[in-house]
Amino acid sequence: MRVRQEWILGVGGVRVLRALGYDPAVWHANEGHATFMLVERVRELVTCGTPFHDALRSVRATSVFTTHTPVPAGHDTFSLEQVEQCTGPVWQEMGLSREDWFHLGHHSALDDHCFHMPVAAIRLSARLNGVSRRHGEECRRMWGRLWPDRETAQVPIRYVTNGVHVATWMANLLVALLSSHLGQDWPERMDDPALWHRILDLDDAELWAVHNKLKSHLMRSIRERARRRPLDQWKEASHLVGAGILLDQHALTIGFGRRFATYKRADLLFHDPNRLQRLLVNPWRPVQILFAGKAHPADQPGKQMLQRVYRHTQERRFEGRIAFIEDYEMHLAHRLVQGVDLWLNVPRAPFEACGTSGMKAGLNGVPQLSTLDGWWREGYDGHNGWALPPTDRNAAAEAVDAADAETLYHLLEEQVVPLFYDRDPQGIPHGWVDKMKHAICTAGARFTAQRMVRQYVTEYYVPAIRGEPPADGPPTA
């Protein structure tokens, strides 16, 4: 079924564009799922009389391939029989032998007689990239065997770090505050880094007041969600508590909202439950944690992790300080990234290709505590949040988790919590607000969708349109 879906996506996508009268100058395949789009374009040229190798060069020159994950499960691989049943003898239309056709998707390092969609996309695209600087490094390591004559650093895979759309994710209250200080036209000047640095001059009291309003909106939204649930779903009072009904507006609130995959380690905070309990129920400096997200339907370990986290919300010893907000969708994501105090992101390196939830939180003045992986590897500067240092990638997962959990507890106990509760007589945590300002500055100056699209246009699309040859040739293996 999956290979048929991708055949329809790729081949059907090209034919729909043709039927609508579009003839794109550059084609951008995002992940291997779109690989058959490249195959269809080669087939088109060959059936019109272009020799295969000329057609291949033409398609490569006008194709960009972006891979979005270093996790092997995210790279579709099909048996040769599955591909042949779906595509039929497409190689005949391309003037190829069956062996040459399947070589397009053959991973020379595996020799597993499978068709690897990302490998075919790499062979059919001249311009290749990952989605963060760290991910670019990982891509060169992962796919370097396709260029056996090159050192890893010389593998021709670059990076364009993802970005987020400011108008979609920044809270209206914060937009209004920035407009009053930067001018109503500031969204038209987002490309100017100096604009974002002016945020460091915002009045602490004003920014803190806006944040508290957004936090209040989040808390009210969570309570309303809990009340809207049918009564028969609240079989026990603990279920209602686990939905966030006892959350405290004034407590340090940590947010974790994303897909539940095992490498994202949503349960890392529970590595030492007793230590976590002491952190959360401190009467003078309380902390609370909001979880939200879903696991892929086919990801059984991810679903089990979600269930473990949910069960922790029911434990009496945490006194309602942990909540799981159900039905995760875009509206809830907006509330979370705009209203929590701290964004938590603890993927096991190097499996986070980029991650964008922390960018969305940063745009709203929410500092991040994260593993130095994905975008945080290039975004963290010591002023805009906190970072878990890199661990030995060859160490056992259990040892890495234990070390990262210890560092996480230490950062929360010794740096994060004290800074949040260090207030002036008016109740303003100036040190924390400084982190908030730097978070906005970092996300706005370097991690917007506007910057990302501009980078693709100037570094990938325009050179392809102009016919500029890529710096490097296709894979040699």
Q: Which amino acid is at 178?
A: L
Based on the number of CB atoms within 10 Å of its own CB, is 205 exposed (0-12), middle (13-18) or buried (19 or more)? middle
- Candidates 310, 309, 308, 306; CA nearest to 260 is 306
Q: Domain for residue 248, yes or no? A: yes
Strands 114-116 and 77-79: antiparallel
- Candidates 365, 339, 334; CA nearest to 437 is 365
- Token duo for residue 32: 């291997």
d(CA 122, CA 319): 52
d(CA 449, CA 428): 32
Q: Domain for residue 424, yes or no? A: yes
Do 90 and 177 fall within a single domain?
A: no
Do 321 and 372 fall within a single domain?
A: yes
Do 438 and 300 fall within a single domain?
A: yes
Q: Domain for residue 472, yes or no? A: no
Total length of the chain:
477
Q: Domain for residue 476, yes or no? A: no
- Candidates 109, 105, 132; CA nearest to 121 is 105
d(CA 196, CA 194): 5
Do 186 and 236 fall within a single domain?
A: yes
Contact 214, 184 (CB under 8 A): no
Scanning the structure block, which residue is given the tokens 């969609």?
117
Residues β-bridged to residue 371? 388
Structure confidence at residue 272 (pLDDT):
97
Do 173 and 133 fall within a single domain?
A: no
Residues 6+ apart with CB under 8 A from 7: 36, 86, 87
- Candidates 60, 75, 137, 70; CA nearest to 112 is 75
Structure confidence at residue 74 (pLDDT):
80
Secondary structure of the chain: what % helix, strand, coil (to 5)?
Answer: 55, 10, 35
Contact 359, 443 (CB under 8 A): yes
Q: What is the DSSP string of 339-392?
A: H-SEEEE---TT--S--SHHHHHHHTT--EEEES-TTHHHH--SSSEEEEPP--
In the chain, the number of structural domains is 2
Contact 146, 477 (CB under 8 A): yes
Q: Which amino acid is at 431?
A: G
Q: Domain for residue 474, yes or no? A: no
Do 194 and 322 fall within a single domain?
A: yes
Q: Which helix (H) or strand (E) holds 257?
A: strand 252-257
Per-residue pLDDT of the chain (477 residues; tens, 9 = 90+): 899 999 999 999 999 999 999 999 999 999 999 999 999 999 999 999 999 999 999 999 999 999 998 888 788 899 888 988 888 778 788 888 888 888 889 877 776 788 999 999 999 999 999 999 999 999 999 999 999 989 999 999 999 999 999 999 999 999 999 999 999 999 999 999 999 999 999 999 999 999 999 999 999 999 988 887 765 555 666 677 777 888 999 999 999 999 999 999 999 999 999 999 999 999 999 999 999 999 999 899 999 999 999 999 999 999 999 999 999 999 999 999 999 999 999 999 999 999 999 999 999 999 999 999 999 999 999 999 999 988 887 889 899 999 999 999 999 999 999 999 999 999 999 999 999 999 999 999 999 999 999 999 999 999 999 988 876 667 766
Q: Which amino acid is at 217?
A: H
Do 147 and 173 fall within a single domain?
A: no
Scanning the structure block, which residue is given the tokens 């003037």?
95
Do 402 and 280 fall within a single domain?
A: yes
Taking each helix axis as running N to C, give the angle between helix 330-339 and helix 204-228, from 0 to 180 degrees, rounded to the nearest 10. Answer: 140
Domain containing 90 — which CATH number? 3.40.50.2000
Domain that holds residue 68: 2-162+454-465
**Could you give the 3-state DSSP secondary structure of residue 126?**
coil
Structure confidence at residue 298 (pLDDT):
87
Do 190 and 329 fall within a single domain?
A: yes
Omega into 367 within 30° of 0, i.e. cis? Answer: no
Structure confidence at residue 158 (pLDDT):
96
Structure confidence at residue 471 (pLDDT):
66
Do 110 and 223 fall within a single domain?
A: no
Do 191 and 316 fall within a single domain?
A: yes
Do 158 and 173 fall within a single domain?
A: no
d(CA 106, CA 102): 6
